[in-house]
């Protein structure tokens, strides 16, 4: 039964994604709030499909930040990469450069606002990432990053990738950590999802200016607060 529901979810969600990508092209040409409206509609479609077809819902514990901040979240599944678009206020998301190269989707993502990260690109890639992040700050938008760099299974706590510290130091923004437990319901490498509630726990804001070792340790602790 779970596999059948997961197959229905995949069909419905990806059909909706194709429609959203098609709508995004004229929305980008219109300008203003048209493109964000399409993106947020797509995120709500994902939320609705997850709730109705998979029985997966989310709850947020703590105070969600408004305005410009560096939001560092745990990453256990695809669920939070889309849900965070609704939890935060029009965030700019740090994502792998390869995702921005996907035809159609990549163009839409870049127009909405993302920060591509290329771990093999060296100093030039870091400069491009910082330039994109500074543009997001100038727009007053929060920046969402998954600082461990990849999806992990529940219980796994890898060290933070260096890109997080680079953004923290260069942008001078407060950090808002978010712990979550989506991997219990949306296991990495498994097709069938399990019904339940994903908790997203917002931790205490960390001011700018901390030494790298201290801020990394505090963020690492906070985003893993829900780990078993």
Q: Quote the pLDDT of residue 121.
A: 60
Q: Quote the pLDDT of residue 191.
A: 86
Quickly list DSSP for 153-218: -TT--PPPPHHHHHHHHHH---EEEEEE-GGGTS-TT-S----EEEEEEE-PPBPTT--HHHHHHH
Q: Quote the pLDDT of residue 37.
A: 96
Its pTM stands at: 0.92
d(CA 86, CA 45): 11
Q: Model confidence over 195-215: pLDDT tens digits? A: 999 999 999 999 999 999 999
User: Per-block average pLDDT, block size 10, for the chain (228 residues)?
Assistant: 92 95 91 92 98 97 90 96 95 86 83 82 75 90 94 94 90 96 91 94 95 96 92
Q: Quote the pLDDT of residue 32.
A: 84
d(CA 17, CA 164): 29
């Amino acid at each position: 039964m779970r596999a059948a529901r997961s197959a229905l979810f995949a069909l419905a969600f990806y059909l909706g994604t194709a429609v959203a990508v098609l709508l995004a092209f004229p929305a980008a040409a219109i300008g203003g709030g048209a493109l964000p409206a399409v993106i947020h509609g797509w995120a709500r479609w994902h939320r609705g499909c997850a709730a109705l077809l998979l029985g997966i819902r989310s709850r947020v514990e703590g105070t969600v930040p408004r305005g410009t901040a560096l939001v560092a979240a745990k990453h256990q599944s695809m669920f939070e990469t889309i849900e965070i678009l609704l939890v935060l206020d029009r965030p700019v998301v740090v994502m792998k450069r390869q995702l921005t190269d996907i035809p159609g989707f990549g163009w839409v993502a870049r127009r909405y606002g993302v920060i591509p990260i290329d771990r093999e690109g060296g100093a030039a890639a870091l400069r491009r990432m910082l330039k994109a992040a500074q543009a997001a700050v100038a727009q007053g938008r929060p920046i969402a990053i998954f600082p461990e760099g990849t999806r992990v299974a529940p219980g796994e706590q890898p060290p933070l990738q260096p890109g997080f510290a680079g953004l923290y130091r260069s942008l001078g923004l407060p950090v808002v950590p978010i712990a979550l437990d989506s991997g219990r319901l949306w296991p990495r490498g498994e097709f069938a999802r399990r019904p339940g509630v994903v908790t997203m726990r917002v931790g205490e804001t960390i001011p700018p200016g901390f030494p790298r070792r201290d801020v990394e340790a505090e963020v690492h602790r906070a985003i893993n607060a829900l780990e078993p």
